[in-house]
Amino acid sequence: MKTNTQSNTAFRGFGGPQGAFAIEYIIDNIARELGKDPQQVRKLNFYDNDFRNTTPYGQLVEDNVIHELVAELEQSSDYYARRDAVMEFNRDNPVLRRGLALTPVKFGISFNVVHFNQAGALVHVYTDGSVLVNHGGTEMGQGLHTKVSQVVALELGIGLARVRATANDTSKVANTSATAASTGSDLNGKAAQDAARQIRNRLAEFVADKFGAAPDEVCFADDVVSCAGTEMSFTELVVEAYENRVQLWSDGFYKTPGLNWDRDRMQGSPFYYFAYGAAVSEVVVDTLTGEFRLLRADILHDAGNSINPAIDIGQVEGAYIQGMGWLTSEELCWDERGRLTTHAPSTYKIPTVADCPVSFHTRLYQNPNARDTIMRSKAVGEPPLLLPFSVFFAIRDAIASLAGNRINPPLRAPATPEAILDAIDAVRAGVA
């Protein structure tokens, strides 16, 4: 049966991940034309801190750590030594070819529709010392409830086990923005913090009045409230506050400051901050079958002062593997009647555990956010989806080695075995 294939081709668009991918493709081409390691050309095109630090849409790039982050990853991954090892391997192996690539990420965080950048939350403290939080974000397995609960627990000085988050509901928090643009923790965490802080301040005033002290002398920590040399459990305080008619619930609200965007002129400052990252990927390609295997991945990602490193590392690794599938195996095909033929796991190939590298090194870059985000953290959602660009360009690097890295392989995405074989044939024929 004849089929028509639509791929995520290299130059399908210049917005979002596709646009970033297109530019990386161009840089890869330029480097090979100049006979240089693509890493050298990428570094020459990084934003600077003192000049050449304004985006095409007019936003100043502040807190730029891409130079330091990439330098650290180059060292920790032994990038240059492995580059030499890959070249040596390829000299001795005519069928199996290895490739190596390092690609960076700079990702703006915020909705570019300014009014979406707001969130609300409700926090209730009960007389048994438990806390209920409801916010406008949707938990979809990314750990949002856990992070928001951590924020509330920290604000009230209590253990995380005391805090429970419930599913978002517009009958509780109205007019919620979508849980998208990697803003879930930023927006809802700040709103929940605002609500919890109001309750803590009321409790602090109550304790201060009781002991003749100032509210800022009251300390909330480890489920204990202390003031003027006296301590009581958080639960004891809550019961006493309730009996004295202190309000034990509050609503919170947050809106991201400093954003502006002119849709007509495509100018402004649509992002509150940028998240950075980089990944090194090493692959081996079978030039007879077009199959490849990811041998090793080294990732260094900027999550700011991470609220929960375990969740963030999981998000980074998950996004990396998801993005690898997008760029290497997830191909959409239709038949001549327009029916989707890649509609099931048997035909639409998503990555599995077998596609993960045996050697997988992921670290979070230590870089507290210069902006006043929740706990000075940074978003970890969409940014690491761009890290597996390095997988695609490592495959391209392996194919290019067949012609001494003098020809740019016309590799399309997704880099399926068919696409890889087409690129191999073109390189061997001397076609760029």
pLDDT in the model for residue 432 = 66
Check residue 15 and give its pLDDT. 57
Which are the contacts of 108, defined by CB distance < 8 A and separation ≥ 6?
A: 59, 270, 271, 273, 274
At residue 50, the pLDDT reads 86
DSSP string, 323-348: HHHHHHT--EEEETTS-BS--STTTS
User: In the chain, which residues fall in CATH 3.30.365.10?
Assistant: 3-112+267-428, 118-255
Quote the pLDDT of residue 258.
Answer: 95
**Residues 182, 142: contact at Cβ < 8 Å?**
no
**Chain segment 98-141, per-residue pLDDT in tens:** 999 999 999 999 999 999 999 999 999 999 999 999 999 999 99
Per-residue pLDDT at 4: 43
pLDDT of amino acid 123:
98
Ranges assigned E (strand) in 287-404 = 292-302, 332-335, 359-365
Q: Which pLDDT value is given to residue 19?
A: 86
Active site residues: 382
Tell me: domain 118-255, CATH 3.30.365.10, correct? yes
Give the pTM: 0.92
Token pair for residue 69?
A: 């982050």
Q: How far apart are alpha carbons 293 and 324 in whole angstroms? A: 11
312/150 Cα distance (integer angstroms) = 14
SS (H, E, C) 110-158: CCCCHHHCEEEEEEEECCCCCEEEEECCCCCCCCHHHHHHHHHHHHHCC
Q: Report the side by side order of strands in the sheet with 219-221.
A: 219-221, 224-227, 230-233
Query: CATH number of the domain at 3-112+267-428, please?
Result: 3.30.365.10
Terminal Cα distance for the chain, rounded: 30
CB 269 within 8 A of CB 55: no
Look up residue 333 and give its amino acid. Answer: C
Spell out, as residue ranges, where the chain has pLDDT lower than 50.
1-14
Helix (H) or strand (E) holding 429: none
Give the burial string for 258-293 (b: 16+ CB within 10 Å, else e): ebebeeeeeebbbbbbbbbbbbbbbbbbbbeebebe
DSSP conformation class of 264: T
